Amino acid sequence: MKTLGLGSVLLAVLRREVSLALRQKGEVLTPLVFFVVIASLFPLGVGPESALLQRMAPGVLWVSALLAAMLSLQRLFATDYADGSLEQMALSSTPLGLLVVAKAISHFLLSGLPLVLMAPVLGLQFGLDGRALGLLMLTLLLGTPTLSLIGSIGAALTLGVRGAGVLLSLLILPLYIPVLIFGAGAVESDAAGMGAGGHLSLLAAMLVLSIFFAPIATTTALRISLE
């Protein structure tokens, strides 16, 4: 038998997650549809006045993306926990931190990236122009991996717990607020002519910080949940 390096193991986990998701397409598409539905609810609630919608658009789309990303977080560890695969992962010779990062990357690919691709379509509904749409996509591209990483901490903490879904939202949403502020703020700031460079840099900084620290918290939380 040939040996595998850590990179190959990471790819194996990614491949497994993606193939599992492709076999259960409903689970991947439901959060995306949820995103569209929520973003469409806001104009129904506040009225179709275009100036108001244009101002609201970045915030509304970001909040909808947050909620949709959170819906799919419950799936991250729950199925593996239920059938015992998570135990085997924790007991394998591959570092658990690497597996957690692989899972977060797969979560981004399966739920974050579709949101990024869907957002411009919804942005058109709200009347955003081309430049704002591009910037919105960029902020979502930088922000959704951070959401996956921070969300994995919450998913690990609420494994096998009563009412895990709602509890996860309560735990994670306060931690998402900085990403929301800078993500939506970037588009608004650019529309006001002040440039989005600072916001984007901060989003990137938060992404880098969460890549380094979130896996540590998630591994600790996973080992606690597996006790």
Partner 1 sequence: MKTSDIHWFKFSSPPNFYWLAGRMWPWFATLAATLTLIGLWIAFFVAPIDAQQGQGYRIIFVHVPASQMAMFIYLVMAAWAGFGLAFNTRLSGMMASALAPTGALFAFLSLLTGALWGKPMWGTWWVWDARLTSTLILLFLYLGFLALQSSIDDARRADKACAVLALVGVVNVPIIYFSVNWWNTLHQGASVSLSKSPSMAAPMLWGMLIMVVAFWMYTIAVTLARVRTIILDRERHTEWVKNAVE
Partner 2 sequence: MFCFPVETVFPLEKTLFPRDHARFIRSRLCTWRDVISAHSFNQPFDLKPASTLSFSKLGCNRGGRQLFQNVDCVLEAGRWLYVAGANGVGKTSLLRMVCGLAPIEAGDILWNGTPIHAQADAYRQDLCYLGHLNALQESMTVQENLVFTAALGGLAPDAAQTRAVLKQFGVPGREHQLVRHLSQGQKRRVALSRLALSPARLWVLDEPFVAMDEAGVRMLADLIAAHLTQGGLAVLTSHQQVDIGTIPAQMLELRA
Judged by CB under 8 A, which stretch of 1-9, 16-24, 111-119, 162-170 contacts partner 1?
162-170
2 binds partner 2 (CB under 8 A): yes
Render the burial of 205-227: b for 16+ CB within 10 Å, e for the rest.
ebbeebeeebbebbbebbeebbe
The least CB distance from residue 87 to partner 2, in Å, is 6
Cβ distance to partner 2 smaller for residue 80 or 190: 80
Pick from 147, 182, 191, 215 the residue near partner 1 by CB under 8 A: 182
Binding mask 90-119 for partner 2 (x = CB under 8 A): xxxxxx---x--------------------
152 binds partner 1 (CB under 8 A): no
170 binds partner 1 (CB under 8 A): yes
CA dist 96 and 217 (Å) reads 11
Judged by CB under 8 A, which stretch of 84-92, 137-145, 172-180, 204-212 contacts partner 2?
84-92
Cβ distance to partner 2 smaller for residue 50 or 88: 88
Q: Give residues 193-212 in contact with partner 1 (rule: CB under 8 A).
A: 202, 206
78 binds partner 2 (CB under 8 A): no
Contacting residues for 83 by C-beta, under 8 A, at least 6 apart: none
Name the amino acid, one letter, at 143: G
> What is the 3-state secondary structure of 117-157?
HHHHHHHHHCCCCHHHHHHHHHHHHHHHHHHHHHHHHHHHH
87 binds partner 2 (CB under 8 A): yes
Q: Which of 108, 183, 182 minimizes the C-alpha distance to 139?
A: 183
Pick from 189, 190, 191, 196 the residue near partner 1 by CB under 8 A: 189
Contacting residues for 205 by C-beta, under 8 A, at least 6 apart: none
CA dist 144 and 107 (Å) reads 9
197 binds partner 2 (CB under 8 A): no
CA dist 133 and 110 (Å) reads 21
- Can you give the binding site for partner 1, defined by CB under 8 A? 153, 157-158, 161-163, 167, 170-171, 173-175, 177-178, 181-182, 185, 189, 202, 206, 213, 217, 220-221, 224-225, 227
